[in-house]
Chain A
Amino acid sequence: MESQLPAEFIVNVDHERCRRCKRCMINCSFGAIEFKDKVAPNHRLCIACHRCATFCPESAITITENPLDYKYGYNWTPEIRKNILKQAESGGIILTGMGNPKPYPIYWDHMLIDACQVTNPSIDPLREPMELRTYLGAKPECLKFDGDSACLETEIAPQVKLDIPVVFAAMSYGAISLNAHKALAMAAKRMGTLMNTGEGGLHEDIASYASNIIVQVASGRFGVTSKYLNNSALVEIKIGQGAKPGIGGHLPGEKVGEDISKTRMIPVGTDALSPAPHHDIYSIEDLSQLIYAIKETTDYKKPVSVKIAAVHNVAAIASGIVRAGADIVMIDGFRGGTGAAPMVIRDHVGIPIELALAAVDERLRQEGIRNRASILVGGSIRQSADVVKAIALGADACVIGTASLIAMGCRVCQKCYTGNCAWGIATQKPELVRRLNPDIAADRLCNLLTAWGHEIQEVLGSLGINAIESLRGSRERLRGVGLPQETLDILGIKHAGIGQ
């Protein structure tokens, strides 16, 4: 069947300026640029990744959305019409990548942070100590000291130190390239934070970064061995992912090459299927069984995290997770990224992380168990301000996936699932992976975290506090703008204009 779908983008080449160096053609990994005496774009194949435009020495390329207008219809948007055409031609589930791009409310942008004026002094972070350090893990109810020696008697659960309250999100080797994994591991080590293997196992080249690595155990149990569990800073059980709550994952067989096969411990060319549920977890009691299986295997030396997608009943689920013995609850909001997910799930399932976080923190406090677990949140943390707001809402630290990919060069073209990533990130093709220099990418990641660290310090200074831990759950320092009362109640914040 010949496709009736129009091109999404138009590649405009200024032939006056073009010096016919073919660099654009060489750089385009989607085959959208050919050369027939002159540069000849195949508009239909362009996905707007900007690789050609970035590497054109004459800046002769621009990419525009196809101006082909559809008859106006508020209801039948061009996107919906295009999706129907696509499915009428194929009969397939529409697959997509990255996070939910739909215009749902972004509550971060409706929250404003307080600052000191006149009656309470702000702090200058450039000249005064300002601590961003925090620790992930279960905290005791209270501390007991020996009366005579003043030695601590309370047994402290294992803790993982973060020098900055931002960790890299779970992205598997398979979804992203080994060079991207290396860059994340190097940056995590240098910045005193963590990267997360995702569910694809741990490549031997980054095994030496163990103390900065979260190893994940998902339903497919790829590459999970006792050595893998012990070679880590902490272990995370993946129950759900914000971009695709309640469904599993399929890494297509064509991406399972020699190296991925070795890391995932499955034969070359087989689909790596992660079932939707862990088949040994049908209840909180079952979850507890796996948490303690991991604790037994790691001799109670590693905190165990449980990652869930933010769904309607997230607060009760999180309470169950904490009671099941998890040291960390990781909540992934509905705008969280993915290497591949059905569009229908990514765009329509789950709830925003801001509301989920507020609900979970509040519930755990009400039940008196907030100390028993740290809360990590992700699902579109875009900037340092989001980190500050999340911590004020009650998070211990934030998780960044898409932001870290953008730092490495990603242009958020949402084509991760094709394996053709022109920037060498979401691909396994050696000629493309080579494009991402792990050392340079690690520098860029460190720069991003360094910049965010300074910004967070500035905000803390203006708030008049000198440690990130003093901000945690301090919702009095946030105000809402343009939010209805019910939303303000869920977020536990007052509307702007209301003083103390």
Chain B
Amino acid sequence: MRIDAKGMHYRPLNKIIRDAIAAGEKEFELDNVGGQRYIGGGLNDSVKITINGTPGNDLGAFMNGPKIIINANAQDGIANTMNAGEIIVHGNVGDIIGYGMRGGKLYIKGDAGYRVGIHMKEYKKQVPVIIAGGTAGDFFGEYMAGGIMILLGMNGKSPLVGDYVGTGMHGGVMYIRGKVDPYHIGKEVNCLELNEEDVKLIGSYLKEYCEHFGFDLNEVMSGKFTKLVPLSHRPYGNLYVY
């Protein structure tokens, strides 16, 4: 189904999509998208949505299954509390992406804004993955409770990532391609070198990532990564007295 979203409010646009899915539609192409919010929000079916234009905030909020491809930049709040599915952005993204994300994949070709992957968490087989090809702002992975975040820094910009990386982190793992100055990193975080298993793990996700955006996997993998993990699963365990 092809929809011209020019000038359309998000409410009818999303309703058309929901109704069409209920009627059995599996594939959507949205043209002239310009800031409409909540596209893919709360959808539970494995549909494919291609977006031509810049979608608005909270794209894929509470989403549980669909695959969304954005052929442009995207804005704030992508994959908010997302449970499953895949979002591929051929551009940059805004702030607070992947907040409370619990499953699925979010692949970004370019840069990400502030507060990426805050309180991302995992549960058994549900392990969310965020990969950004460029740089990211402050509070990357703050309160991170699970999942995998990979930051590639391939646009040569500096610094690679802002301040307070992983502040309050108590689960999950981050891989940052390049050197992260210690003063950028939260006090709950431990910096490690990659082992063989790490290389295998990121290799499998990055292979998929490179296929989406036409990057050279060998070149991406040739960079030196820093692995960030929490020092404790209970960072505030000794704070209280009864």
A296 to B239 CA separation, bound complex (whole angstroms): 40
Residues from chain A with a CB closer than 8 A to the CB of B105 are none
A158 within 8 A of B: no
CB distance from B130 to the nearest CB of A (A): 15
Q: Which residues of chain A have a CB within 8 Å of any CB of chain B?
A: 86-87, 89-95, 219-221, 224-227, 229, 250, 252-253, 261-262, 265-267, 269-271, 273, 275, 279-280, 289-290, 292-294, 296-299, 342, 415, 417-418
Contact of A224 among B100, B115, B239 (CB under 8 A): B100
Residues from chain A with a CB closer than 8 A to the CB of B11 are 296
B145 touches A273 (CB 8 A): yes
A289 to B107 CA separation, bound complex (whole angstroms): 23
B41 touches A296 (CB 8 A): yes
Knowing A267-B146, A270-B171, the reply to whether A293 touches B38 (Cβ < 8 A) is yes
Chain B residues 57 to 78 lying within 8 A of chain A, measured CB to CB, are 57-58, 61-64, 76-77
B118 touches A273 (CB 8 A): no
A455 to B57 CA separation, bound complex (whole angstroms): 49
A417 to B241 CA separation, bound complex (whole angstroms): 11
Residues from chain B with a CB closer than 8 A to the CB of A298 are 42
Judged by DSSP, the binding face of B is: loop
Pick the most buried of A87, A92, A95, A221: most chain B CB atoms within 10 A of its CB. A221
Residues from chain B with a CB closer than 8 A to the CB of A265 are 102, 121, 123, 126
Which 3 A-B residue pairs are closest in the complex by CB-CB distance? A297-B42, A92-B241, A221-B100
Knowing A279-B96, A289-B77, the reply to whether A87 touches B61 (Cβ < 8 A) is no
The interface size of chain B toward A, counting residues with CB under 8 Å, comes to 51
A253 touches B237 (CB 8 A): yes
Knowing A86-B241, A90-B241, the reply to whether A225 touches B58 (Cβ < 8 A) is no
Contact of B62 among A87, A229, A271 (CB under 8 A): A229
B42 touches A226 (CB 8 A): yes
Known: A221-B81, A270-B234. 8 other contacts (CB 8 A): A220-B119, A221-B119, A226-B63, A270-B233, A271-B235, A280-B76, A280-B96, A292-B38
B140 within 8 A of A: no
B212 within 8 A of A: no
A487 to B18 CA separation, bound complex (whole angstroms): 52
CB distance from B12 to the nearest CB of A (A): 12
A266 touches B234 (CB 8 A): no
Residues from chain B with a CB closer than 8 A to the CB of A418 are 242
Residues from chain B with a CB closer than 8 A to the CB of A296 are 10-11, 14, 37-38, 41-42, 61
A92 touches B145 (CB 8 A): no
B42 touches A266 (CB 8 A): no
Knowing A220-B119, A271-B233, A292-B38, the reply to whether A297 touches B168 (Cβ < 8 A) is no
CB distance from B19 to the nearest CB of A (A): 10
Residues from chain B with a CB closer than 8 A to the CB of A417 are 242
A-B CB contact pairs (8 Å), 11 listed: A86-B241, A93-B239, A225-B62, A226-B43, A226-B62, A229-B62, A253-B233, A270-B234, A280-B99, A293-B37, A293-B41
Residues from chain B with a CB closer than 8 A to the CB of A271 are 170, 233-237
B80 within 8 A of A: yes
Contact of B170 among A221, A273, A289, A297 (CB under 8 A): A273
Residues from chain A with a CB closer than 8 A to the CB of B135 are none
B111 within 8 A of A: no
Residues from chain B with a CB closer than 8 A to the CB of A225 are 62, 64, 81, 83, 102
A220 to B170 CA separation, bound complex (whole angstroms): 13
Knowing A271-B237, A280-B80, the reply to whether A229 touches B145 (Cβ < 8 A) is no
A250 to B145 CA separation, bound complex (whole angstroms): 13
B240 within 8 A of A: yes
B237 touches A261 (CB 8 A): no
B44 within 8 A of A: yes
Knowing A224-B81, A270-B171, the reply to whether A92 touches B240 (Cβ < 8 A) is yes
Residues from chain B with a CB closer than 8 A to the CB of A220 are 100, 119
Residues from chain B with a CB closer than 8 A to the CB of A280 are 76-77, 80, 96, 99
**B43 — nearest CB in chain A belongs to which residue?**
A226
Residues from chain A with a CB closer than 8 A to the CB of B119 are 219-221, 273, 275, 279
B142 within 8 A of A: yes
CB distance from B146 to the nearest CB of A (A): 7
B143 within 8 A of A: yes
B236 touches A273 (CB 8 A): yes
**B95 — nearest CB in chain A belongs to which residue?**
A280
CB distance from B63 to the nearest CB of A (A): 8
A342 to B242 CA separation, bound complex (whole angstroms): 10
